[in-house]
Amino acid sequence: MVETKNKGGRPRKFQDLAVFQAAIDAYFDSCYAEVVVKDKDGHACVDEDGTVMREMQQVEPFTITGLALALDTSRETLMEIETQRSGYDDGFVDAIKRAKLRCQQYAERRMFQARNPAGAIFALKNYGWRDTQDINHTLDGLEIVVGLPKPE
């Protein structure tokens, strides 16, 4: 029997990938709720039997902070897992990357659906998105790089 020494430090918060993924999935599921279907006048719709119609709708936004709270950890810990600075294996890294992509997709959709997309744009910038144009010119062997804001 081979003994392994404890490397010291605090043990990792997440030990089992399947449990970790299930907790991530539970967070996204918690953002949905069953709601009453309403007509254009705001009245509840009923089916042929007179039963009020209901459907599942997303009622909470997908956010990294919300995911961190659901996992009882911090946003910074999730980012450390994603960037592989915390010793987690690739399965944990991939799970966080997929979860982060779902949050980005939500913000991206809101950017196109909202009357004022400033909040979604801000969130996407925090995911590393940029709204600048880089123009590269070469002049007599010298490269000049100018960053200009995108025209609105």
Q: Has residue 136 got a pLDDT over 50?
A: yes
Residue 121's pLDDT is what?
Answer: 77
In a domain, 2, yes or no: no
Q: Is residue 23 part of a domain?
A: yes
Over 50: is that where the pLDDT of 3 sits?
no
Q: State how far the Cα of 61 lies from the Cα of 152, in Å rounded to an integer.
A: 26
Is residue 31 within 8 Å of residue 61, measured between CB atoms?
yes
The 10s digit of each residue's pLDDT in 18-72 is 999 999 999 999 999 999 999 999 999 999 998 999 999 999 999 999 999 999 9
- List 139's β-bridge partners, or say none: 142
Residue 66, domain member (yes or no):
yes
Closest CA to 47 of 58, 39, 57: 39
Looking at residue 144, its pLDDT comes to: 65
pLDDT digits (tens, 9 = 90+) for 41-52: 999 999 999 899
Q: What is the CATH number of the domain that holds 82?
A: 1.10.132
User: Which residues are paired to 55 by β-bridges?
Assistant: 35
CA-to-CA distance for 71 and 78, rounded, in angstroms? 9
Closest CA to 93 of 77, 71, 73: 77
Domain assignment present for 6: no
pLDDT of residue 115: 79
Question: What is the model's pLDDT at position 9?
Answer: 65
Residue 12 belongs to a domain: no
In a domain, 139, yes or no: yes
Rounded CA-CA distance 147/133 in Å is 6
Tens-place pLDDT, residues 71-110: 999 999 998 898 887 788 899 999 999 999 999 999 888 8
Per-residue model confidence (pLDDT) at position 4:
45
Q: Which domain holds residue 103?
A: 17-149
Strands (E) located in 14-111: 32-36, 54-58
User: Strand, coil or helix: what is 67?
Assistant: helix
pTM over 0.75, yes/no:
no
- The pLDDT assigned to 128 comes to 74
**Tally of structural domains, the chain:** 1
